[in-house]
Amino acid sequence: MCLARRNTYLEDTEQFSFVLAHQAINVSYQTCGSPSSCEENISLNFGITQTTVNSQCCDKDLCNTEFPKVSSNDTVNGLECCQDEHCSEKIQCVGNEKVCLKMQSSAAGIHSEMRGCATSNLCAVQSYQVPGVVQGTLYCCSKSLCNSAKLISVNILVLLLPLLLYKLI
């Protein structure tokens, strides 16, 4: 049971999915959510991995018994983003990925910088932090090849960052 917010209970059910080396990994969970996270889907595509978060909400006690379907639109939309510093590697954005993204992260003294495609709702979060664990900054732009990137490393924190960012929106 969730606490009442503005006389409404919001029980959020989410499907978190990421693809690494063409292998889909799905994680589903149920939680209490805020109205702003209802029905808001996220996509983040670094080329080597694509993460989508799909959510749905309901407003009655114990109503979040079903998981949302993993939905991903693989239709190329015309936006192309850089994946590396010199833009020698490019990513074709798909579906609702309407912005190019630069994500700088620092975790355990390791700094990484990645670029790719994302849905524009991720741009609302300009910085993020879990004290003592990870911190970072996001930069968005909306024209093809408007970003350049320095891809240093991919670790599990980078793969899970979209989920953290989703909770901050």
pLDDT tens string 34-90: 776 676 778 889 888 888 877 777 777 777 777 666 666 789 999 999 998 889 999
Secondary structure class of 158 (helix, strand, coil): helix
pLDDT at 156: 46
Whether the pTM exceeds 0.75: the reply is: no
- Asked whether 98 and 119 are in contact (CB, 8 A), the reply is yes
Q: What is the mean pLDDT of residues 123-131?
A: 79
Question: Spelled out in words, what is the top-level CATH class assigned to the domain 76-168?
Answer: mainly beta
Q: Are strands 42-45 and 49-58 parallel, antiparallel or unpaired?
A: antiparallel
User: DSSP strand E in the chain: where?
Assistant: 11-20, 23-32, 42-45, 49-58, 76-82, 90-94, 97-107, 110-119, 127-130, 134-141
Secondary structure class of 108 (helix, strand, coil): coil
Q: Is the pLDDT of residue 21 over 50?
A: yes
